Amino acid sequence: MRLDDVDWAAKPWKAVSDDDLGAALAVPSMLTMDEARLYYWLAAQAEGFGAVIDLGTHRGGSAARLLAGLAAGSSQAPLYTYDRFATPEVRSDMLTQVQTALAPWGARATCVKGDIARQTWSGGAVEVLSVDAAKSPTTADRIAEEFFPALEPFRSVLIQQDFLHAKQPWLPVQMAALADCFQLVARAGNVCAVFIPTAKVTSDHLKAARTEGLTDKALLARLDEAAHRFSPALPAQRFADQRAMVLANPGVRDAWRMKR
């Protein structure tokens, strides 16, 4: 199925019920219900030509919702979920907890522990890529370099979970620079945006889209360009909030260090 044939404006994932999500709802997640349904629906549509990759699952919530969708569909594709599986609040290793939470879906999920910015991908095509780990320009660039070239035009889908988050202004900048390769097709929840690739991502595209090292002035200028590019599909206020965050935190490029 070509994903540009989908009626994205109709938000077909709205038809996903709590019963459909089932055991996935028991796994802790910060996703809104709209986002949870989106993840399930996208995974359920997967054809199986490539892997499903979840970057930044935290306690396993996004992975569980993707796995529930995969189980409901016809794809036999594996799911790989990447995270540090540790937080300052939870000093114990969370990996075992996440593996237990994902046990209802058997051995289909592989949990990869470590710094996502240091991970590599050589597993072929990626059909569904969920990104909830681009908390700095450095990591956003590394994710793009490693995973975006594996996306197939009009067949794969990219979920940018925090695309409109005030503390991650580099994401719209990055995706606007990749406009020759991606089409914005949907928004879910408050800050999540969905893209489909329209061309293969090359090293030249990635070089032009790098966000690491941008000065505040350059970041703001490119953010303004992104706001214009994604208007009126996405709310202008979200980009204004990102702009204000950069101005309030000069030189800061880690989401967790940004203060309102």
What distance in Å separates the CA atoms of residue 23 and residue 161, rounded to the nearest whole number? 22
The strand pair at 157-160 and 79-83 is best described as: unpaired
Residue 59 · residue 136 · CB < 8 Å: no
Any domain includes 257: no
Q: How confident is the model at residue 93 (pLDDT cuts 50, 70, 90)?
A: confident
Strand, helix or coil for residue 1: coil
Average the pLDDT over each of 121-125, 126-130, 134-138, 139-143 and give the range with the smallest value.
121-125
Number of domains in the chain: 1
Torsions phi, psi of 31, nearest 5? -70, 140
Q: What is the largest CA-CA distance in the chain?
A: 49
Q: Is the pLDDT confidence value at 87 over 80?
A: no
What distance in Å separates the CA atoms of residue 50 and residue 130, rounded to the nearest whole number? 14
Burial 134-167 (b: 16+ CB within 10 A, else e): bbbbbbbbbbbbbbbbbbbbebbbbbbbbbbbbb
- Contacts of residue 45, defined as CB under 8 A and 6 or more positions apart, other chains included, come to 1, 69, 73
End-to-end CA distance of the chain: 43
What distance in Å separates the CA atoms of residue 182 and residue 62, rounded to the nearest whole number? 23
Residue 198 · residue 153 · CB < 8 Å: yes
Any domain includes 106: yes
Any domain includes 258: no
Any domain includes 259: no
What distance in Å separates the CA atoms of residue 131 and residue 240, rounded to the nearest whole number? 22
Domain containing 63 equals: 3-251
Any domain includes 120: yes
Any domain includes 87: yes
Any domain includes 256: no
With vertex at residue 35, the alpha carbon angle to CA 34 and CA 37, rounded to the nearest 5 degrees, is: 70
pLDDT for 167 equals 98
**DSSP-assigned beta bridge partners for residue 194:** 159, 186
Q: How confident is the model at residue 92 (pLDDT cuts 50, 70, 90)?
A: low
Q: Mind listing the pLDDT tens digit for each residue in 148-192?
A: 999 999 999 999 999 999 999 999 999 999 999 999 999 999 999
The CA–CA distances, whole Å, from 190 to 30, 86, 110, 116, 160 equal: 12, 26, 29, 24, 12
Please report, for the domain that includes residue 67, its CATH number: 3.40.50.150
Any domain includes 77: yes
The mean pLDDT of 254-260, rounded to a whole number, is: 93
Q: Mind listing the pLDDT tens digit for each residue in 185-232?
A: 999 999 999 999 999 999 999 999 999 999 999 999 999 999 999 999
The mean pLDDT of 40-66, rounded to a whole number, is: 97
